[in-house]
Amino acid sequence: MAQSKAIGILGAGITGLATAYVLSSKYKVTIVARDLPGDLGLDWASPWAGAVFHPQKTPNKLWQDMQIACFRFYWALAHNDPSSGVKVYPMTEYFDTIHDDSEIWYKTLMPDYRIIPAGELPARTTFGIKYTALAMNPSMLLPWLKAKLIVKGVKFVRAEVFSLDEVRVITKAKLVVNASGVGARVLAGDESVGPVRGQTMFVKTDFNELVMKEGTEYTYVIPRADSGGVIMGGIKSDRLDSEVDVELKSDILMRVNRITNGAFEGLDISTVTDIVGFRPGRKGGLRVEREGDVVHAYGVEGAGYIYSFGVAERVKKLIEESVLRAKL
């Protein structure tokens, strides 16, 4: 395989896997990563994510397009292969900083979109919408993707690297995709990158719909396909320890009950499974751009599952635009 057809990807989180999936039809892809699907260490975010497709409010057209591409991929997957852990659910989304849907660019994207009448909104809410959305179970989806990638000829190399040149040596590829998440702070010299702590709870229940609250408060209930329960959250914090904040558990439960009409009243929080994880944050948000022989793809924070396959399509375009220019 010519070096020009070989591509190295650093990182096996959802962004790295999605990028490999999109590129592997045309390129010889090798993924280099410290953590691989099936690992449950706290040093990477993908296994611990809430993993729900609820579009992010943004005026950035490119970011919107990446979300649209990602939604279409997951929508097809949910309908064609349930073993992927991607499933369709009804979504209720509440806000406390907006009063209409003038900022909701995705009203034409999400199926069954409608505005909730003001009289039906819970306390501390100024606006609400309902639509049909998707949620993913990372413990199913990540291994599913890895298995598909192996069939497609993608190689996985477990290694902790400290430079992008090391990735080139391991993969024998001139071009490297940097999907290293928090690692990009060192590997790309990007000071705006850092971990954002999240704490959630897994609760056994047959509650089977998505409910979210955004604005000054960040609260959600996300069903996990085929797991018999939901993920409840959330919080964004600069703390870097992995100790469970016991007081926060009661606070999450109180907020969840407020947006679910008391669906979890009486829940004994000592019986839940606590989850602490670190999202790959970046001041300024997502970075998908080419820099010489590196295509950077990181900075999604908690929106990896919302952008992943759209980021992958964008990475492919950046690679192929430069190939085209080289031929002119």
**Residue 234 assigned to a binding site:** no
Q: For residues 297 and 9, is the Cβ–Cβ distance under 8 A?
A: no
Q: How many CB atoms lie within 10 A of CB 105?
A: 19
DSSP structure class, residue 287: E
pLDDT (0 to 100) of residue 212: 97
Which tokens belong to 327? 């031929």
Domain ranges of the chain: 3-327
Judged by DSSP in three states, 10 sits in strand
Structure tokens at 271: 């019986």
State what percent of residues in the chain have pLDDT above 70. 97
Q: Is 89 annotated as a binding residue?
A: no
Measured CA to CA, the distance from residue 69 to residue 84 in angstroms comes to: 18
- Residues 197 and 324: their CA atoms lie apart, in Å, by 41
pLDDT the model gives residue 234 = 82
Q: Is 246 annotated as a binding residue?
A: no
The answer to the question of whether 305 is labelled as a binding residue is: no
* Mean pLDDT of the 54-63 span: 95
Q: Classify domain 3-327 at the CATH class level.
A: alpha beta
Give pTM, 2 decimals: 0.94
DSSP state of 33: E
Residue 316 DSSP code: H
Question: Is residue 96 scored above 50 in pLDDT?
Answer: yes
Strand partners, 158: 33
Rounded to whole angstroms, the Cα distance separating 166 from 144 reads 28
Q: How far apart are CA 255 and CA 205, in angstroms?
A: 17
Percent pLDDT > 90 in the chain is 86
